[in-house]
Amino acid sequence: MSEQAVEIQIADEVEKKNMSGATEEQVEGATLLPNDIETNKQSAKVSGTSVVKQDSTSESESAKALDRFGYKRAKTGGTAGIPAPPFYKRRVGNFYVCHERRYEDKDTELLCMVGPCWPMIFVTSGLIIIIPILVCVFVIPEIESQSTYVIVLVFAILALLATTTSYFLIACSNPGIQPIIKDKPGENWTWNPNAESFRPTGVIYEPESGTLINKVDHFCPWTGTVIAENNMGRFVAFNTCVCSLLGFNILIVIGTYMLDW
């Protein structure tokens, strides 16, 4: 073997050893050794985990800070033994929240909720609907005049829609629950041990619902909820509608069978 061939063989063996001992990998255009690559992967994994944990922690703390409706369930009052409905998301005292909206700069808005006596919603709405439907099916068709028939039927349907709409606006709305406040905001605020919160003048603890509510009028079992500041106008509108609906149906019966409409 010539001297030149020996030198080429030695060079090949050295090159093979260098390649086996120092294999290089390309990562995003940079040349890294295997040990460096493994170290970077572990660092990225750890840092990514910490970022995820930090983000989730900050989100949970933010949600907890903005949600000040964490009332406990009240075990007093006549509605304490009523079971929870199957369609609610969470409980606020003895209320059942079905839909809410959270904000970053103000308190959670309780958009749809039912009261402690929620089964009465089905009872009352059934009573409201069944009588006008019976009148529309069995009495109004007896009216002989075609124009009178159309007018009476349209007014009967509109009166029924107005009554049921005003009813559900009462039964499924927030009556005016005050958020829980642990730090005393002013001199006119007093501590309520039942709600474990400070309350201003005009806000009282309602035992059936187990919450602090502004300007409570009464607890209405027919709507299943508390009548207070936020739904008082709707309650007045409902009473007006239901009385008008009842009177209108009585008038239809009298006009059909006694006045020969």
Give one DSSP letter per residue of the chain, joined into a string.
--HHHHHHHHHHHHHHHHHHHS--EEETTEEE-HHHHHHHHHHHHHHHHHHHHHHHHHHHHHHHHH----PPPP--STTTTSPPPTT-SEEETTEEEEEEE--SSSPPEEEEEE-TTTTHHHHHHHHHHHHHHHIIIIIGGG---HHHHHHHHHHHHHHHHHHHHHHHHHHTS---BPPP--S--STT-EEETTTTEEE-TTEEEETTTTEEEET--EEETTTTEEE-TTTHHHHHHHHHHHHHHHHHHHHHHHHHHTS--
Dump pLDDT digits (tens) for 67-123: 678 788 776 666 667 888 988 999 999 999 999 988 877 788 899 999 999 999 999
Phi-psi region of 176 (alpha: psi -120 to 50; beta: other; left: phi over 0): left
Q: Does the pLDDT value for residue 30 go beyond 60? A: no
pLDDT the model gives residue 225: 96
Lowest mean pLDDT among 2-6, 58-62, 126-130, 224-228: 58-62
Q: Does the pLDDT value for residue 37 go beyond 50? A: no
Q: Is the pTM of this model over 0.75?
A: no
Q: Does the pLDDT value for residue 226 go beyond 90? A: yes
Dump pLDDT digits (tens) for 232-250: 999 999 999 999 999 999 9
Say if residue 167 is exposed, middle or buried (CB neighbours under 10 Å; 0-12, 13-18, 19+).
buried
Lowest mean pLDDT among 24-33, 118-127, 181-190, 251-260: 24-33
- The better pLDDT of the pair 17, 209 is held by 209
Q: Does the pLDDT value for residue 60 go beyond 90? A: no
Helix pair angle (146-171, 120-134), 10° resolution? 180
Which band of pLDDT confidence, cut at 50, 70 and 90, is reported for residue 177? very high
Q: Return the closest-CA partner of residue 250 out of 164, 167, 152, 165.
A: 152
Averaged pLDDT score across all residues of the chain: 79
pLDDT the model gives residue 47: 47
Q: How far apart are CA 170 and CA 234, in angstroms?
A: 6
Average pLDDT over residues 22-48: 45
pLDDT the model gives residue 247: 92
pLDDT the model gives residue 9: 58
The percentage of residues in the chain with a pLDDT greater than 70, rounded to a whole number, is 72
Which band of pLDDT confidence, cut at 50, 70 and 90, is reported for residue 21? very low
Sign of CA dihedral 235, 241, 245, 251: positive
pLDDT the model gives residue 159: 93
Q: How far apart are CA 54 and CA 65, in angstroms?
A: 16
Q: How far apart are CA 199 and CA 203, in angstroms?
A: 6
Dump pLDDT digits (tens) for 178-209: 999 999 988 889 999 999 999 999 999 999 99
Instruction: Identify the residue whose tokens are 């120092």.
Output: 22
Q: Does the pLDDT value for residue 28 go beyond 90? A: no
Q: Does the pLDDT value for residue 57 go beyond 80? A: no
pLDDT the model gives residue 119: 94
